[in-house]
């Protein structure tokens, strides 16, 4: 575990994907191949048309060429009719690429008005439209490069996006793995989620010592265990601490999927050790016992029943925590006996440092 290092890496990956998308859409997509080849093809077509005209009208070719003759004066137009002249004018016009043919002339809409106000207003309107259109054309001006370089640019852009997506998936995998590794480490765990205990990549320790300078208050610690999907029995010799706990704790959020927190006392004989153990085993409720004698009796009964479940190789789906919060320390014999049966059955003993 490295605190928030992997989370920062994931955020940087998402930022990289966002910037790569901007680069792809606003820069790479504007690249267009050079039109030198297109212009060459147009000139070749025009030359072929001139050669065809020369062959079909060979008798009209001027025998004498003067210095002031243009490039299109190789035919004698004096004897041509109107249709032939029109055809030759089309041949002599310079070639216009297809990309220039799409441009439209800018004209003002509406009927003409010879008034002074309309001329002034029309001029301002025309200049505004022209300026806006020019700015728009300038923003969308394509980037020109050779077809080979364009192919390389597209391949690099695709490779860039695919690598970033792969790294984001890898970062998500690392974050999930890191979370599952930290989940049962007291000083490193965060964001409790009701996930199955079998998903955790580290088993809960049989005995955990809660430090005096704990990360959270006791009520927050118990609420966190419920949010993890676990159950607990809180054994304490402080009645005021037991009374400060609510009657139910939320599994999700602050008030969703509430789990009952039952109080065990000496006067109530209906809550037996077997009832407490089975309820904890299936995660139906959690318990609080603030009578010292009853708390020790419950702990001994839980150890005895766990020994039987260990022989049967049974294990809880969600971890069950036994929280020992007494002023006097827990006897070492009871501690070692609990540790012997806890690892095999999925129970955990949390001992407060002041105990």
Residue range 191-220, pLDDT digits in tens? 888 888 888 888 888 888 887 777 788 888
Q: What is the pLDDT of residues 27-67, one digit of tens each?
A: 888 888 877 655 566 677 777 777 776 676 655 555 555 55
Q: What is the pLDDT of residues 134-163, one digit of tens each?
A: 555 456 677 788 888 888 889 999 999 999
Q: Above 70 in pLDDT, residue 70?
A: no
Q: What is the pLDDT of residues 238-290, one digit of tens each?
A: 888 888 888 888 888 787 888 888 888 776 677 888 899 999 999 888 999 88
pLDDT at 164: 94
Q: What is the pLDDT of residues 316-328, one digit of tens each?
A: 989 999 999 888 8
* 3-state DSSP of the chain: CCCCHHHHHHHHHHHHHHHHHHHHHHCHHHEEECCHHHHHHHHHHHHHHHHHHHHHCHHHECCCCCCCCCCCCCECCCCCCHHHHHHHHHHHCCCCCHHHHCCCCCCCCCCCCCCHHHHHHHHHHHHHHHHHHHHHHHHCCCEEECHHHHHHHHHHHHHHHHHHHHHHHHHHHHHHHHHHHHCCCCCCCCCCCCCCHHHCCCCCCCEEEECCCCCCCHHHHHHHHHHCCCEEEEEECCHHHHHCCCCEEEEECCCEEEEEEEEECCCCCCCCHHHHHHHHHCCCCEEEECCHHHHHHHHHHHHHHHHHHHHCCCCCCCCEEEEEECCCCCCHHHHHHHHHHHHHHCEEEEEECCC
Note if the pTM is more than 0.85: no
Q: Above 60 in pLDDT, residue 76?
A: no
């Amino acid at each position: 575990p490295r605190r928030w290092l992997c989370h920062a890496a994931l955020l940087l990956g998402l930022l990289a994907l966002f910037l790569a998308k901007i680069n792809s859409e606003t820069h790479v997509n504007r690249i267009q191949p050079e039109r030198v080849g297109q212009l060459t093809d147009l000139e070749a077509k025009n030359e072929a048309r001139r050669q065809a005209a020369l062959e079909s009208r060979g008798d009209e070719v001027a025998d004498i060429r003067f210095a002031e003759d243009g490039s299109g004066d190789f035919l004698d137009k004096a004897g041509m009719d109107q249709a032939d002249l029109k055809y030759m004018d089309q041949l002599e016009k310079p070639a216009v690429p297809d990309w220039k043919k799409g441009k439209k002339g800018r004209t003002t809409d509406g009927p003409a008005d010879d008034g002074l106000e309309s001329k002034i207003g029309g001029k301002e309107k025309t200049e505004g439209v022209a300026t806006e259109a020019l700015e728009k054309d300038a923003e969308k001006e394509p980037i020109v490069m050779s077809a080979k370089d364009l192919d390389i640019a597209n391949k690099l852009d695709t490779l860039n996006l695919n690598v970033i997506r792969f790294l984001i998936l890898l970062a998500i995998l690392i974050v999930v793995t890191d979370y599952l590794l930290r989940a049962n480490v007291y000083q490193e765990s965060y964001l409790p989620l009701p996930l199955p205990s079998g998903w955790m990549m580290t088993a809960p320790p049989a005995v955990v010592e809660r430090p005096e300078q704990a990360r959270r208050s006791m009520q927050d610690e118990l609420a966190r265990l419920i949010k993890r999907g676990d159950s607990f029995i809180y054994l304490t010799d402080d009645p005021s601490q037991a009374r400060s706990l609510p009657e139910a704790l939320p599994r999700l959020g602050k008030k969703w999927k509430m789990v009952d927190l039952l109080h065990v006392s000496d006067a109530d004989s209906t809550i037996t050790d077997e009832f407490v153990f089975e309820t904890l085993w299936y995660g139906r409720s959690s318990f609080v016992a603030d009578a010292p004698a009853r708390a020790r009796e419950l702990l001994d009964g839980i150890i005895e029943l766990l020994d039987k479940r260990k022989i049967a190789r049974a294990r809880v789906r969600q971890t069950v925590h036994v929280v020992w919060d007494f002023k006097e320390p827990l006897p070492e014999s009871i501690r070692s006996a609990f540790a012997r049966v806890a690892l095999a059955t999925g129970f955990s003993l949390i001992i407060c440092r002041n105990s």
